[in-house]
Amino acid sequence: MEIKRDIYLDKLIRRKNNGLIKVITGIRRCGKSYLLFHLFHNHLLETGVPEDHIIEVALDDRRNKKLRDPDAMLQFIDESIKDKEDYYIILDEVQYLDEFEDVLNSLLHIRNADVYVTGSNSKFLSSDVITQFRGRGDEIHVYPLSFSEYTSAYHGTLDESWDDYLVYGGLPLILPPQEDVSRASQVLSLLDGLLLAGGDDIDPAYYDEKTLPECGLITPIRDTWEMPLCREALHRHLPLLGICRGLQVLNVALGGSLVQDLPSQCPDSPICHQQTQPPEVATHPVRVDAQSRFARIIGAESLMTNSHHHQAVKQLASGLTATAWAQDGIIEGVEKIDEPFCVAVQWHPERLWSQPDGLPHRALFAALVDAAKSAAV
């Protein structure tokens, strides 16, 4: 079955014959070659372009090694163009071509040539191709398959496709805490979404409280890094998912506060929020606001969750909306409804997604991926 990549194919079609070099970027194996050599090639044929008017060269193929010489490449293209009709030149992995900038400049002088090139390694991506061809180049950045694209060609159940997608799809980038918080903006410019993960307690100084004896381990460098990272992600309207501590970081970063220790500060709660069962076991129900984004994501107004936290939201930050609660009233989910996608939960869905009733927890990650995909378009 053919995998449709209509978002990118439509971008190529809209840019046909616009007088610019179409520069298709993306990591290796993300589908650039398939997009050009198969999907776009078929589109050209279907619209009446003769086969011999499509000039394709895969420069990472050793059989084309001679064409990595710039003069040999230009001679080959000149000899392939035999009339004044439109020709479509597709050069794959152009970073293999010596002096490729000069070659691309030369191709711009061929009036009946529409040029498409791909590249993926650091040499190509760091050579400021678009900067050099400002006014003459048009970049299309291709990402790996989204979950919806993957499932369109998957033979199996939705659960099976999700399991395989987690193994074979998606490109998470782990962000170690940085002492230089000014790098937050630079780092986020590389991302299409942000997941704030669980971890240690947040220093109460961030919400103007003294540290209680019951407060747990604090990792200052994470607090120092994640607070500005979270704010900058929201400033960029980057899709954001918070998990456990991630929810608390979101709340504190926006001016909210936390219960430092649930057992000592909320002793009458009937729920043990630090369960003794394994994290793969859901131990208490959570009620979900039926009108919330979260309810739409999971397709339900309640679900069973695990619980591995001794802190929780005390004062909800301005701009956040509580959308899920435990039976004792503890906030278990929040959203920032004026953002394209900003959802955070107090439990650990990553430990429950593989369970028989784990579909709602998987749906959270699928929603983040879909939101990131939309943001990247």
Q: What is the CATH number of the domain that holds 97?
A: 3.40.50.300
Question: Domain check: are 187 and 329 in the same one?
Answer: yes
Residue 208 tokens, joined: 């103007």
Q: pTM of the predicted model, to two decimals?
A: 0.62
Range with lowest mean pLDDT among 53-62, 86-95, 179-188: 179-188
What is the domain range of residue 314? 173-376
Question: Domain check: are 105 and 211 in the same one?
Answer: no
Give me the active site residues, please: 244, 348, 350
Question: Domain check: are 76 and 181 in the same one?
Answer: no
CA–CA distance, 306 with 279 (Å, rounded to integer): 6
Question: Domain check: are 287 and 338 in the same one?
Answer: yes
- Domain assignment present for 56: yes
Question: Domain check: are 66 and 205 in the same one?
Answer: no
**Residue 127, pLDDT above cutoff 50:** no
pLDDT (mean) for 267-296 = 93
Range with lowest mean pLDDT among 48-62, 166-180, 345-359: 166-180
- Domain assignment present for 233: yes
pLDDT of the residue at 135: 63
Give the containing element (helix H, strand E) for 253: helix 245-253
pLDDT (mean) for 276-283 = 91
- Domain assignment present for 27: yes
Q: Which of 153, 197, 162, 155 is nearest to 355 (CA)?
A: 162
Question: Domain check: are 107 and 216 in the same one?
Answer: no
CATH code (residue 278):
3.40.50.880
Decide: 31 and 144 in contact? Cβ < 8 Å. yes
Spell out the residues 6+ positions from residue 128 whose beta carbon is closer than 8 angstroms to its own.
none
Question: Domain check: are 137 and 32 in the same one?
Answer: yes
- How many CB atoms within 10 Å of residue 163? 15
Question: Domain check: are 246 and 347 in the same one?
Answer: yes
**Residue 372, pLDDT above cutoff 50:** yes
Question: Domain check: are 181 and 308 in the same one?
Answer: yes
- Domain assignment present for 161: no
Sign of the dihedral through C-alpha 96, 98, 101, 105: negative
Tens of pLDDT, residue by residue over 3-41, are: 789 999 999 999 999 989 998 887 767 888 889 999 999
Q: Which of 312, 313, 214, 218 is nearest to 264 (CA)?
A: 214
pLDDT (mean) for 358-366 = 88
Question: Domain check: are 193 and 312 in the same one?
Answer: yes
The residue out of 119, 142, 165 marking a domain boundary is: 142
- Domain assignment present for 308: yes
CA–CA distance, 37 with 32 (Å, rounded to integer): 8
- The total domain count for the chain is 2
Sign of the dihedral through C-alpha 209, 210, 213, 215: positive
Top pLDDT among 363 and 161 is at: 363
Decide: 345 and 364 in contact? Cβ < 8 Å. yes
- Domain assignment present for 157: no
The residue out of 123, 142, 161 marking a domain boundary is: 142
pLDDT of the residue at 358: 86
Question: Domain check: are 223 and 314 in the same one?
Answer: yes
pLDDT of the residue at 348: 95
Give the containing element (helix H, strand E) for 335: strand 331-335
Average predicted confidence (pLDDT) for the chain: 89
**Residue 134, pLDDT above cutoff 70:** no
Confidence of residue 126 (pLDDT cuts 50, 70, 90): very low
pLDDT (mean) for 241-268 = 96
pLDDT of the residue at 109: 92
- Domain assignment present for 151: no
**Residue 170, pLDDT above cutoff 60:** no
pLDDT (mean) for 224-245 = 96
Question: Domain check: are 331 and 196 in the same one?
Answer: yes
pLDDT of the residue at 115: 95
pLDDT of the residue at 246: 97
- Domain assignment present for 127: yes
pLDDT (mean) for 89-115 = 91
